[in-house]
Structure 1
Amino acid sequence: MQTWTATHQRMWIGGQWVDSVTGETVTVINPANGEVVGDVPKAGRKETAQAVDAAHQAFPAWSGLTAAERGAYLKKWAEEIRRNRESLARLLTMEQGKPLSEALEEVDAAADFSEWYGEEAKRVAGEALPGSKRDQRILVIRQPLGVAALITPWNYPATMVTRKMAAALAAGCTVVLKPASQTPLTAAFLMQLLEKTGLPTGVANLVTGNASEIGQALLDDPKVRKISFTGSTEVGKQLIEASARQVKRLSLELGGNAPLIVFSDADVDRAVAAAVGNKFENCGQMCNGINVIYVHEHLLDDFLQKLVERVGQLRVGFGWEPGTEIGPVIDESGIRKIDELVRDAVEKGAEILTGGRRLLEGPLARGTFYAPTVLAGVSFDMRITQEEIFGPVAPVVSFSDEEEIVKRVNDTPYGLAAYFFTKDIRRAFTVAEGLEFGMVAVNGTSLSVPQAPFGGIKESGQGREGGRYGMEEFLNIKYLSINL
């Protein structure tokens, strides 16, 4: 039986650990059993302004350090994360619900992002261009934007912090971090580890609490020159509108509708294994997770048989129990959305091959668990093909015309990630180039690595995270014309 002592974590503002001015808190609930994991301060505009002021005051000295000096702090942060790997992963599992094995992988990835940007900080470069006159010299340099506000989601509460923050700090920006209210404890732990590196006062700040009030304060403050947000498309659109008043720089990673296409020449075993690995990671709660699987009719029966067999063997349970592969959905609203989409599909002719229900038996009844599900006979008039599921449900659509299916999957306002399987090298290139998505994986379903740009097009967002592209999001380009 897992035991857990609820903890209170404070905010980190201007090098001090503080509570909210009102003393109010936000309670963090374990989605697996409904128990209290801990709480954090419920801050608002005043605390946010203090954090922004601290970051603004710290900016000149921080941006004045050499890239190697800034990078050294990030590499130390990575070391601290790895040193506290098990404790951080256990906390992540308790507040977010994912299996401990996945939490450990996420913590490792979080450390990798910090280490990578610690090294990449030294590679920010400019250019010397030919002048238009004999005595003219043209230089192009890159400089940090200033104060950056980072708003992170609940589904990957460790990697999303370091992927954003390490890039911003490496570029020379100072930051204010606002984590999701469902999973702020992981962010607080990460900030404690960052404090251990000796990071100068005010360079990084953490505020928790009222999302709308904190977000509005960040938008209103002219000292905040950049906002990086991961979340829903609806909120992203609101940020775009509100940011126009000050023309703030934005990076947005928003909703998705990721297809997996299995072409007629695909390796079925390989495709099924990769589909399960992606679709059911983090209980299907992944922004670049597969939403719908499109299988050529010649492979459909074989694919479905093997998919149902694998999915039926997935072990659902508490994340801290050995062997658990599927944890809970984050909350009741997530469960309701999943159930609505499945019921709509069934009413319109889809068939449940496995799963298709909330799990209410035994100890799982205390949490928000949904059975891993496979739906066959899915068609394009069903909501489940048009809306982001964000749950452990794999709808399968049969197709025959390969050109038509590419047109179909492109016919969406979203464009984050897409996946397909084929053995034909010509098709690999033509389809990858023809898919209207910011990221495409061929014969695989894994995309997030420190060195590559992660992000979408259309209503899935703007800007990139990861790689040198992620750090460029926090840099201004300045043109210098020097006449001798």
Structure 2
Amino acid sequence: MTVKTETKTYLNYINGEWVPSSSQHVYESINPANKNEIVGYVQKSTQEDLDRAVDAAKKTQLIWRNLSSPARGEYLYKVANSLEKNIDEIAETMTKEMGKTFVEAKGETARGVAILRYFAGEGMRKVGDVIPSTESQALMFTTRVPLGVVGVISPWNFPVAIPIWKIAPAIVYGNTVVLKPAQETSVTAARVIECFHEAGLPGGVVNMVTGPGSVIGQGIIDHPDIHGITFTGSDQVGKRVGQGALARGAKYQLEMGGKNPVIVAEDADLDLAVEATISGGLRSTGQKCTATSRVIVQKTVYNEFKEKLLSKVKEIKVGNGLNSDTWMGPCSSESQLNTVLSYIQKGWDEGATLLHGGNRYEVEELKNGFFVQPTIFENVNSSMAIAQEEIFGPVLVLIKVENIEEALHIANDVQFGLSASIFTSNIGNMLSFIDNMEAGLIRINAESAGVELQAPFGGMKQSSSHSREQGQAAIEFFTSIKTVFVKP
């Protein structure tokens, strides 16, 4: 039974003001490290609230788009300064609400600051090209125009970085935004939006409406005045977003699941490969779309790699993310914990061999949280559910192969294609991996989970809608090209 304490209630942000939901109902956000602690209360919003936010965004967009892009960028610099000033408080909120360690949460928030400054600079970049015309006296060129109102549907695993890497390019290119954050991390989202408010953006440029996906998320999909939808989350929900947007002609961008492999070749630096496998697969409790999930190892080094991996995993300190000695926190929610445990059971049922972990922690200091042991399976074949389906938890599966050709075949033998990495010193292996790996992010001698803000990010196959986020690629989604022909 949750013990209710005096905890802050966070409001929706519509047209530059903090307002309660028309439903007058709230839901509680629970600390996954201690289910008896309420982090805050957030609005349980209705379609009426969403309509108000979209209307505000629509009216303001006509004014906002006519502001120069360098001037729009200046607002992002101000948001970055506010976020940086509040970095410790926002990171602590993230740790309490989502569970990742404070070090990771602070790093993510710092990344949000960097993203804002990067896209602030985008306001000074070109938005078109001059193209030769067949008519000698004519001028022909392209420019870019904003979509209009953009709906942002963001996940719980990166509650600062992902909303910012969607909102920042959207508004610097002249759009206005309605954000629907994940229910599990709506308090953190509200803390981020406070920074936009402090920066003094005109009312209606950025709006936030919290609430269930069945109401607010579906409302964004269906709303006739939302011209673009950018979504990060599960592939099942993403497909519904895409189908709904397509049905009414809205532009959409989907970043979805991953089942990311790391290949360990016989000539790899095994200590480096072990370190990267653990970091890529188990940091943030494995709750990253780019997290390492499948570890494909050549048989000549398999046993040595396995022993090194087990030795390091046994040293992992699991606990409350606010404790300085914690390396891995809890699953983000009870629902996510149960999903992870169900996949561990599937591994057992399918005949895989459990090498480490596999259970929920029941020790006194962890029993009130959603903690699960780092888990490793071996004797896994590619057809098993634990080798095919996204678990989104601290579960690694080891697969032994004869050679790099077999490793690549198994690495590609899934419906997803988000990220992948290989550890090798052989140039031929590297080039084969680059050419043949079916993933949007390829990393060599580095963990699968690294994403840099200035580079395009997105997946292949069922991992995305084949668009790209971040870097200069962001302009492709958030604007439309207009071709101009001028003849005197």
Question: Paired residue for 1:236?
Answer: 238
Equivalent residue runs for 1:12-161 within 5 Å:
12-34=13-35, 35-161=37-163
Deviates further, 74-83 or 326-335: 326-335
Residues 247-303 of structure 1 show CA distances to partners (whole Å, capped at 9, x for unaligned) of: 111110001111111111111011111111111111000011111110110111111
Structure 2: distance between partners of 1:472 and 1:348: 44
Secondary structure of 2:184's match? coil
The correspondence for 1:461, drawn from 461, 464, 467, is 464
Question: Paired residue for 1:365?
Answer: 367
Question: Paired residue for 2:450?
Answer: 447
Q: How far has the Cα of 1:419 moved from its partner?
A: 1.0
Change in Cα spacing, 1:306 to 1:117, as seen in structure 2 (3 Å) is same
Equivalent residue runs for 1:256-335 within 5 Å:
256-335=258-337
Change in Cα spacing, 1:467 to 1:5, as seen in structure 2 (3 Å) is farther
Query: Is this contact kept in 2: 1:5–1:37, CA < 8 A?
Result: no
Question: Are residue 478 (structure 1) and residue 482 (structure 2) matched?
Answer: yes
Amino acid at match of 1:59: Q
Structure 2: distance between partners of 1:124 and 1:372: 48
Question: Paired residue for 2:352?
Answer: 350
Secondary structure of 1:293's match? strand
Structure 2: distance between partners of 1:284 and 1:313: 17
Q: Alpha carbon RMSD of aligned pairs, Å?
A: 1.4
Secondary structure of 1:352's match? strand
The correspondence for 2:434, drawn from 432, 435, 439, is 432
Amino acid at match of 2:29: V
Secondary structure of 1:298's match? helix
Amino acid at match of 2:377: L
Q: How far has the Cα of 1:405 moved from its partner?
A: 2.0
Question: Paired residue for 1:187?
Answer: 189
User: Which structure 2 residue ranges, 5 or more long, are not aligned?
Assistant: none
User: Which structure 1 residue ranges, 5 or more long, are not aligned?
Assistant: none
Structure 1: distance between partners of 2:212 and 2:309: 42
Structure 2: distance between partners of 1:120 and 1:430: 35
Structure 1: distance between partners of 2:219 and 2:321: 36
Structure 1: distance between partners of 2:219 and 2:344: 39
Instruction: Give the number of equivalent residue pairs.
Output: 482
Structure 2: distance between partners of 1:285 and 1:471: 28
Q: How far has the Cα of 1:4 moved from its partner?
A: 8.8
Residues 296-318 of structure 1 show CA distances to partners (whole Å, capped at 9, x for unaligned) of: 10111111111111111010001
Equivalent residue runs for 1:368-383 within 5 Å:
368-383=370-385
Structure 2: distance between partners of 1:113 and 1:454: 13
Structure 2: distance between partners of 1:432 and 1:6: 51
Residues 52-102 of structure 1 show CA distances to partners (whole Å, capped at 9, x for unaligned) of: 110111112211111211111111111111111110111101110111111
Structure 2: distance between partners of 1:472 and 1:295: 38
Query: Is this contact kept in 2: 1:98–1:319, CA < 8 A?
Result: yes
Query: Is this contact kept in 1: 2:297–2:407, CA < 8 A?
Result: no
Question: Paired residue for 1:252?
Answer: 254
Query: Is this contact kept in 2: 1:263–1:422, CA < 8 A?
Result: yes
Secondary structure of 1:17's match? strand
Structure 1: distance between partners of 2:160 and 2:338: 26
Question: Paired residue for 2:227?
Answer: 225
Amino acid at match of 1:473: F
Structure 2: distance between partners of 1:69 and 1:426: 49
Amino acid at match of 1:458: K
Q: How far has the Cα of 1:201 moved from its partner?
A: 1.1
Equivalent residue runs for 1:189-204 within 5 Å:
189-204=191-206
Query: Is this contact kept in 1: 2:242–2:254, CA < 8 A?
Result: no
Query: Is this contact kept in 2: 1:98–1:327, CA < 8 A?
Result: yes
Q: How far has the Cα of 1:375 moved from its partner?
A: 1.6
Deviates further, 217-226 or 103-112: 217-226
Structure 2: distance between partners of 1:245 and 1:374: 43
Question: Are residue 336 (structure 1) and residue 353 (structure 2) matched?
Answer: no
Q: How far has the Cα of 1:231 moved from its partner?
A: 0.6
Secondary structure of 1:365's match? coil
Question: Paired residue for 1:416?
Answer: 418
Structure 1: distance between partners of 2:333 and 2:201: 35
Q: How far has the Cα of 1:225 moved from its partner?
A: 0.6
TM-score of the aligned structures, taking structure 1 as reference length: 0.97
Query: Is this contact kept in 2: 1:4–1:37, CA < 8 A?
Result: no
Amino acid at match of 1:33: N
Amino acid at match of 2:376: V
Structure 1: distance between partners of 2:45 and 2:99: 25
Question: Paired residue for 2:168?
Answer: 166
Percentage of pairs with the same residue: 35
Secondary structure of 2:228's match? strand
Structure 2: distance between partners of 1:199 and 1:4: 34
Amino acid at match of 2:21: S
Structure 1: distance between partners of 2:365 and 2:150: 43
Amino acid at match of 1:146: G
Q: How far has the Cα of 1:217 moved from its partner?
A: 2.1
Structure 1: distance between partners of 2:214 and 2:190: 20
Amino acid at match of 1:450: L
Q: How far has the Cα of 1:115 moved from its partner?
A: 1.0
